[in-house]
A = this chain, B = another copy of it.
Amino acid sequence: MNAVATAPERDLLAVTLAQTLAREHIADIVETLNDQDEDTVAAVLLALPFDRAVEVLDQPELAAASEALALLPEARAAQFLSAMAADRVTDVVREFDEPLRLRMLGRVDHETRATLNRLLTYPEQSAGSIMTTEFVSVPADWTVSRTLDYVRHVERTRETIYAIYVLDPAAGTLLRAVSLRRLISAEPQALVVSAAPDRAPISVTPDIDREDVARLISKYDLLAVPVVDGADHVIGIVTVDDVIDAMIAETTEDVQKLGGMEALDEPYNEISFARMIRKRAGWLSILLVGEMLTASVMQHFEGELEKAIVLTLFIPLIMSSGGNSGSQATSLLIRALALREIRLGDWWRVALREIPTGLTLGAILGAIGIVRVVVWQKLGLYDYGEHWPLIAATIGAALVGIVTFGSLTGSMLPFILKRLGFDPASASAPFVATLVDVTGLVIYFGVAATILGGTLL
């Protein structure tokens, strides 16, 4: 319990808050509540009118919903859960600890329990776990006007009424989908099925990933997509609201992974110190161990290093260029694969493109590197010794090699990860940099040995 205020103080605060909030937009209430501790949230839920409290709990943005419900009297919490939207109640109940979840399943109403028992079986982040069971479906032999009457009647208990699913009257299988806008402009006495577009509706199975649902909704500009079981019965729908939330969560995950860490799954300012360390330390340690290979490579070339200490000066510069070009290529390909612009089988096409790209980029960087050595030498800022033109050539050639290698490695890594069944977005910039660093050193010393052999080395 966060002891920010004493209990009576908190109750007073809660009642005042509840009065002020009662007329605000639901999203603003949620924002205010997210700044309060969970005891205050629980107290406000009790002080708000019941319907308003349910509305608040139905917002996926409410951070402390599970925690606040766990603090309420169980009978009251069960009333809230029974009144909440099916998809949201599943999310909330999922976060209860096992004993509380079982007790609440025993207390909620029959219908909610049945829905929960079904929805809780779907894996997190699947269509089944984000779908709601509150949709509108009608048999194909109903008229448009009967359908509209029915829609008016059930409107308050459905998450969306803008997509109406038309079922086979006998088998109950999904035949057509019709939008409310087509329905209200259709002939009232016509059959509802005649108002629907003449093709099988886009649908998904409950096990597919929420990212793929988002792609479908975005591609076909849908307001909702039906989720069907093996027998083609509609068991729920995923709405565009759920998809937007899922897309934002997905982007956060991808950006965090690209930064070289596990996805936090919690807001930055709410995650505990211990969890933050766990999410970050894993990859940092793995990358450090990987990077230790560079020390081994350097040991291997220690003789060269002692003979030409000048070579060490450019190690950070050359290695980072390899990492940077790899990081560019990786982020490009992660997005291209995510957007399905490019498929797994296109890897060789990408490789054929990245090699000339890498060579060109390497030539540009190589030229800059050569200019740097020449300018420093000529201006007397540093003396690279009598063989300075050869050193300049070494830097230039090494940059061409390393940038090409970096671009190729960085672009192929997402394909390899996807092929192995991992998320291509796990190919973080630091991961690519580490991969490229080791080989980059070998390329650098190899080029140096070729160009400087017989003079400096």
- Residues of chain A at the chain B interface (Cβ within 8 Å): 23, 25-27, 61, 148, 151-152, 155-156, 161-162, 180-181, 184-185, 198-199, 202, 214, 217-221, 223, 240-241, 243-245, 247-248, 251-252, 254-256, 258-261, 264, 267-269, 273, 276-277, 280-281, 283-285, 287-289, 291-292, 294-295, 298-299, 302, 305-306, 309, 312-317, 319-321, 323-325, 327-336, 339, 341-342, 346, 349-350, 353, 356-357, 360-361, 364-365, 368-369, 372, 382, 403, 428-430, 433-434, 437, 441
Contact B315 A155 (CB under 8 A): no
Return the contact of A259 from the options B61, B289, B305, B331 (Cβ within 8 A): B331
Contact B284 A403 (CB under 8 A): yes
Contact A291 B336 (CB under 8 A): no
Contact A320 B430 (CB under 8 A): yes
* Additional pairs, 17, CB under 8 Å, beyond known A218-B245, A305-B309, A320-B433: A251-B251, A255-B255, A259-B332, A260-B324, A267-B336, A268-B342, A269-B336, A276-B357, A283-B324, A284-B328, A289-B368, A291-B316, A302-B309, A316-B441, A320-B434, A324-B434, A433-B433
Contact A255 B288 (CB under 8 A): no
Give Cα distance in the complex from A327 to B408, angstroms: 22
Q: Give the residues in chain B near A264, CB-CB below 8 Å.
A: 332
Question: A285 and B316 in contact (CB under 8 A), knowing A219-B27, A247-B247?
Answer: no
Return the contact of A260 from the options B23, B252, B356, B429 (Cβ within 8 A): B429
Return the contact of A244 from the options B240, B313, B369 (Cβ within 8 A): B240
Contact A327 B429 (CB under 8 A): yes
The chain B residue sitting closest to A320, CB to CB, is B291
Contact A258 B151 (CB under 8 A): no
Contact B321 A291 (CB under 8 A): yes
Q: Give the residues in chain B near A241, CB-CB below 8 Å.
A: 218, 221
Give Cα distance in the complex from A365 to B199, angstroms: 59
Give Cα distance in the complex from A360 to B280, angstroms: 11
Q: Give the residues in chain B near A313, CB-CB below 8 Å.
A: 295, 298-299, 302
Q: List 27 A-B contacts (CB under 8 A).
A: A27-B219, A152-B184, A155-B181, A161-B181, A162-B181, A180-B181, A218-B248, A248-B339, A255-B331, A255-B335, A256-B335, A258-B258, A260-B328, A260-B429, A261-B328, A261-B332, A267-B341, A268-B341, A269-B342, A276-B357, A277-B361, A283-B324, A288-B369, A295-B317, A299-B313, A305-B312, A306-B309
Contact B288 A317 (CB under 8 A): yes
Contact A334 B248 (CB under 8 A): no
Q: Give the residues in chain B near A285, CB-CB below 8 Å.
A: 364-365, 368
Contact B199 A284 (CB under 8 A): no
Give Cα distance in the complex from A372 to B294, angstroms: 13
Question: A284 and B330 in contact (CB under 8 A), knowing A218-B245, A309-B302, A316-B437?
Answer: no
The chain B residue sitting closest to A270, CB to CB, is B341
Q: Give the residues in chain B near A289, CB-CB below 8 Å.
A: 368
Contact A185 B328 (CB under 8 A): no
The chain B residue sitting closest to A220, CB to CB, is B27
Contact B281 A336 (CB under 8 A): no
Contact A258 B429 (CB under 8 A): yes
Contact B328 A280 (CB under 8 A): yes
What is the minimal beta-carbon distance from A441 to any residue of chain B, in angstroms?
A: 7
Q: Which of A61, A268, A357 has the most CB of B within 10 A?
A: A268
Q: Give the residues in chain B near A441, CB-CB below 8 Å.
A: 316
Q: Give the residues in chain B near A247, CB-CB below 8 Å.
A: 244, 247-248, 251
Contact B328 A184 (CB under 8 A): no
